[in-house]
């Protein structure tokens, strides 16, 4: 049995895969903005007050932008948040 020839790309990566990831991140950030989570907005992360300081556009790593689109500063530090983890004040 011959070894499978590889082209160096993982499934779902490359130009088309990257475009899908970018689109998913843009959709998550857009949904956050439409719900009122704009930069400078006061929010609660659980019961901890914070301020939205930006949007997570990470396409690799543990906290991907499509799942955790918000970057929030609290008294405990800066964190990436999912929309279900935060509420508007």
Q: What is the DSSP string of 35-75?
A: TT--TT-EEEETTEEEEEEEE---SSSSS-TTT--EEEEET
User: What's the confidence (pLDDT) of residue 38?
Assistant: 98
pLDDT of residue 20: 86
Which pTM value belongs to this model? Answer: 0.79
Q: Per the domain annotation, does 14 fall within a domain?
A: no
Q: Is residue 60 part of a domain?
A: yes
Dist. CA 54–CA 42, nearest whole Å: 12
Residues in the chain: 89
Give the pLDDT confidence score for residue 13 in this predicted structure. 55
The pLDDT of residue 35:
97
Residue 66 lies in a domain: yes
- Please indicate, yes or no, if residue 17 is contained in any of the structural domains: no
* Domain with 54 in it: 38-89
Q: Which two tokens mark 77?
A: 């530090």
- Within a domain: 80: yes
43-83 tens-digit pLDDT: 999 999 999 999 999 999 999 999 999 999 999 999 999 99
pLDDT at residue 48 in the model: 98
The answer as to whether 87 is a domain residue is yes
Contact 50, 73 (CB under 8 A): yes
């Amino acid at each position: 049995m011959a070894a499978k020839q590889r082209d160096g790309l993982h499934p779902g990566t490359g130009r088309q895969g990257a475009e899908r990831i970018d689109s998913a991140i843009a959709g998550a950030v857009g949904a956050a903005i439409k719900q009122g989570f704009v930069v400078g907005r006061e929010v609660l992360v659980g019961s901890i007050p914070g301020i939205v300081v930006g949007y997570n556009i990470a396409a690799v790593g543990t906290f991907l932008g499509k799942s955790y689109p918000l970057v929030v500063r609290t008294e405990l530090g800066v964190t990436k948040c999912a929309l279900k983890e935060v509420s508007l004040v």
